[in-house]
Amino acid sequence: MTFTLIGMPGCGKSCMGRNLAGRLKMKNIDGDRLIEREMKMPLHEIIERYGMEEFKRIEERILLSIEGDRKIISPGGSAVYYDSVMQHFRSLGRIVYLYVGPDQLKLRLGDFSKRGIVLAPGQTIEDLFRERTALYNKYADIVIDCDGTDYLRYQQRLIRALKYCE
């Protein structure tokens, strides 16, 4: 079984993905790092150089190329904008939404200008949170509340949920 971790930037997808993959003896796939490796530049530079629409095409193509079993996939937070990608992830296994509220996200993100976050002109993190929350809930098989600072407790909740699914 493969598990895909979705959620807002700063919710812990990458960190949780690495740790879980090691503990569960699965392969970790970080969608943003996959894009950066293929494009040979950081996400924010891809967006600056090619523009938002081309970045979206690149992101969708690369995420759809992920295959296989026994993986923890941590795509970027914008993966939920592509129904094709989310259906692909669903065909691989379970989708887990790591929920973090907007106040905690702002604390975790700090200066998010270098993170490659897909924001429309004038859009705030709060706007993005409201827009994406419905999509995360739509695609999630499991929701884990990670709103706070007790990372180890959230990781334990997630491990219990994933072991129940296997």
Q: Which domain, by its residues, includes 29? A: 2-165
Percentage, residues of the chain above pLDDT 90? 58
Q: What is the pLDDT of residue 120?
A: 73
Q: What is the DSSP letter of 110?
A: S
**Rg for the chain (alpha carbons), in Å?**
15
The helix (H) or strand (E) run that includes residue 30 is strand 27-30
Mean pLDDT is lowest, of 66-70, 76-80, 158-162, for 158-162
Q: Which spans in 30-124 are helix H?
A: 31-39, 43-50, 52-64, 83-92, 102-109
| H helix and E strand count, the chain | 8, 5
CATH value at residue 80? 3.40.50.300
- 137-150, pLDDT tens digit by residue? 999 999 999 988 78
Average pLDDT for 13-40 = 94
- 91-127, pLDDT tens digit by residue? 999 999 999 998 888 787 766 555 556 677 788 888 8
Query: Residue 135 pLDDT > 70, yes or no?
Result: yes
Average pLDDT for 29-54 = 93
What total of structural domains would you count in the chain? 1
Q: How far apart are CA 96 and CA 49, in angstroms?
A: 32
